[in-house]
Amino acid sequence: MSAEEDNGVTVTPPERLAIGIAFGNSNSSIAHTGSDGKPVVIANEEGDRQIPSVLSYIEGEEFHGNQAKTQLIRNSKNTVAYFRDYIGKSFDSIDPSASHASAHPQKHDKTVAFSIHDTSSESPNTVTVQEIASRHLKRLISSASDFLGQSVNAVVITVPTNFSEDQKKELEAAARDAKVELLQFIPEPIAAALAYDARPETEVRDKIIVVADLGGTRSDVTVLASRGGMYSILATSHDYEFAGQNLDQVLIDHFAKEFIKKNKSDPRENPRGLAKLKHESEATKKALSLGTNATISIESLSEGIDFSSTVNRIRYETLANKVFGGITRLIEDTVKKAELDLLDVDEVILSGGTSHTPKIASNIATIFSQTTRVLAPSTLATAINPSELTARGAAIQASLVQEFDVDDIVQSAHPMVTVAPHLHNAIGVLLLSGDASRGIFRPVLDPETPVPAKRTVTFATPREGGDVLIKICEGIRDIKVTKPEPKPKTNGATVKDADEDDSDMSDSDEEEEEEDLRERAWKVGTELAEVAIKGVKKGGKVEITLNVNAELGLQVVAREVGSKTGVRGVVEKPEH
């Protein structure tokens, strides 16, 4: 819709202004890439950058974001929340659990709707989830337009990797209803990776990335291969049991027990008490991401009794250990699903609000090797705010495609363009010895690199220079396990943990066993070619360029650095 017919007169299309939207079940964020190329997450009128994906209606007036979220306490029946995942689904296929304390989803033809008083009329209206989504988008767009001082008319929206085509269709319709052009849907984990990789200081480097998107209602883990700045998804997992809300619940139960102890009544038993407790427990939880203590204080929690208490971080972490453990296992399982080892992972991006939790980041860091970079606020000073990652990524993509026709974008995302053969094994060179059993393999092209692809690496030569051999072969990823040398028994007194918590942490009185030493290694696979570079100068370097074409033919160019002549050769394409 680059040009619109209006009364038979072709009006020139208004200039495109595109933003990125991260649309979550719990929160949404809007971001725009300015002329300096830096994405900025935009605050709404209330100053929020994480805008709850909630709409609430009081006597026909619509409330949005945090204002609507507070209505969960008094006006839950006319408050619609946690609806993103219902978009484009039939009632039969949704899990309505998240909407337990807000307007309940209902069956409406083939879709989902809510019955709410969204006008001042006495009788409720049936409002479809598409309509709700549209109203929500409208509010987001209007906040962005206010901030930018110009009408936003195009969007890139992030969606989970398991968002179906039907869901995208319905969300696209919602965007259309909100009077914005949908440029592209992009997967949330890809947006998060892009937000990091688009930073000017980031060098393009081939790497395996795990994106853990830990939100309010779900935790999604994605394993990506990043090759030449392009991303291919190797495995995904979706979890609805170990997310932010489950952490809220830990504190709700903790405080409720405290309340019961004092007052002999359970605040969870009346909906309003529960809503208040939930609201404040979430705030307490967030406070514990920064401070080591947090205070909760609720007026008239139950039966008119006020409640206030403090909780320290250690206590919280102990109580929440089950949820933390579930998140860590989810990550481990997804790496396994990708047929990789934890040692293969170069980078872990923690995304989503729950990623602010320090203990989650540190637990995750311990399962990976020392060299794996865990990008989270508590493990890396230069980490990007995890709540802003997906919106930033969407804004970057929005700025990249802003000038294209939507049809052009669609055609570029066509499988004819996106589907590519990915290398099964690494392709590289043997060092120190040309003998497969003694040489050390170094990859030039990593496994999972989409082809065509070209990489250049320079190599040192023997001390005296001379004639060198370049043996090009495939490398198969492998894990080398070394048994630790048995340590002499130390007879010193063992430090006993004095602080025995009443939690059901397993008492590990067994002696810690020395763990096996595990290292990444390469097994030499098919030998592809041999090249000789003769008469290399003392201290000379050799530059090797491997170029694999789309048919898996390999072109090799090798020369001594500084020399004009070199050796070229071709390994013909295979006949698969």
- For ligand ATP, the binding residues (CB under 6 A) are 24-27, 50, 215-218, 243-245, 282, 285-286, 289, 352-354, 356-357, 387
Q: Which one among 287, 314, 420, 436 touches another protein, defined by CB under 8 A?
A: 420
Report if residue 167 touches another protein, rule: CB under 8 A: no
Residue 30 C-beta: closest distance to another protein, Å: 18
Residue 415 binding: pick among ligand ATP, another protein, none (C-beta 5-8 Å cut-off by kind): another protein
Report if residue 528 touches another protein, rule: CB under 8 A: yes
Residue 219 C-beta: closest distance to ligand ATP, Å: 7
Q: Is 420 exposed, middle or buried (0-12, 13-18, 19+ CB in 10 A)?
A: middle
Q: Which one among 103, 186, 211, 376 touches another protein, defined by CB under 8 A?
A: 186
Structure tokens at 385: 């705010």
The CA angle 25-31-36, to the nearest 5 degrees, is 160
Structure tokens at 98: 């998240």
Cβ(457)–Cβ(430) below 8 Å: no
Q: What's the start-to-end Cα distance of the chain, in Å?
A: 44
DSSP assigned state of 75? -
Q: For residues 100-138, b (16+ Cβ closer than 10 Å) or e, as one string?
A: ebbbebeebeebbbbbbbbeeeeebeebbbbbbbbbbbb
Residue 554 binding: pick among another protein, ligand ATP, none (C-beta 5-8 Å cut-off by kind): another protein
Place of tokens 């995750």: 364
Residue 24 C-beta: closest distance to ligand ATP, Å: 2
Residue 173 C-beta: closest distance to another protein, Å: 21
Report if residue 124 touches another protein, rule: CB under 8 A: no
Distance CA 67, CA 100 (A): 19
Residue 470 binding: pick among another protein, ligand ATP, none (C-beta 5-8 Å cut-off by kind): another protein
Residue 104 binding: pick among another protein, ligand ATP, none (C-beta 5-8 Å cut-off by kind): another protein
Tell me how crowded residue 163 is: count the other CB atoms within 10 A of its CB: 19
Q: Which stretch binds another protein (CB under 8 A): 58-66, 173-181, 268-276, 440-448?
A: 440-448
Rounded to the nearest 5°, which phi and psi values hold at 396? -65, -45
Q: Which one among 525, 537, 547, 559 touches another protein, defined by CB under 8 A?
A: 525
- Number of residues in contact with another protein, rule: CB under 8 A? 124
Minimum CB distance to ligand ATP smaller for 267 or for 358: 358
CA dist 332 → 353, 377, 481 (Å): 21, 21, 19
Residue 123 C-beta: closest distance to another protein, Å: 20
Residue 24 binding: pick among another protein, ligand ATP, none (C-beta 5-8 Å cut-off by kind): ligand ATP
The SS3 call for residue 105 is: strand
* Helical segments of 184-270, H only: 188-197, 244-263
Q: Which one among 80, 194, 277, 327 touches another protein, defined by CB under 8 A?
A: 194
Distance CA 545, CA 456 (A): 4
The CA angle 392-242-377, to the nearest 5 degrees, is 40
Residue 488 C-beta: closest distance to another protein, Å: 25
Distance CA 385, CA 470 (A): 45
Report if residue 396 touches another protein, rule: CB under 8 A: yes
Q: Which one among 41, 183, 450, 522 touches another protein, defined by CB under 8 A?
A: 450
Residue 147 binding: pick among ligand ATP, another protein, none (C-beta 5-8 Å cut-off by kind): none
Residue 178 binding: pick among ligand ATP, another protein, none (C-beta 5-8 Å cut-off by kind): none
CA dist 164 → 89, 160, 243, 413, 420 (Å): 9, 9, 22, 16, 22
Residue 398 C-beta: closest distance to ligand ATP, Å: 18
Residue 458 binding: pick among ligand ATP, another protein, none (C-beta 5-8 Å cut-off by kind): another protein
Structure tokens at 505: 């942490």
Q: Which amino acid is at 80?
A: V
Residue 217 binding: pick among ligand ATP, another protein, none (C-beta 5-8 Å cut-off by kind): ligand ATP
Residue 285 C-beta: closest distance to ligand ATP, Å: 5
Report if residue 460 touches another protein, rule: CB under 8 A: yes
Q: Which one among 207, 461, 477, 522 touches another protein, defined by CB under 8 A?
A: 461
Minimum CB distance to ligand ATP smaller for 353 or for 540: 353
Long-range CB pairs of 430-435 (<8 Å, 24+ gap) are: 430/471, 430/473, 430/524, 431/459, 434/469, 434/471, 434/530
Report if residue 315 touches another protein, rule: CB under 8 A: no
Minimum CB distance to ligand ATP smaller for 217 or for 222: 217
User: Residues in the chain, how many?
Assistant: 576
Report if residue 230 touches another protein, rule: CB under 8 A: yes
Distance CA 409, CA 417 (A): 11
Query: In the window 462-491, what residues touch another protein (CB under 8 A)?
Result: 462-463, 466-471, 473-474
Minimum CB distance to another protein smaller for 147 or for 459: 459
* Helical segments of 119-158, H only: 129-148
Residue 106 C-beta: closest distance to ligand ATP, Å: 21
Beta bridge partners of 479: 520
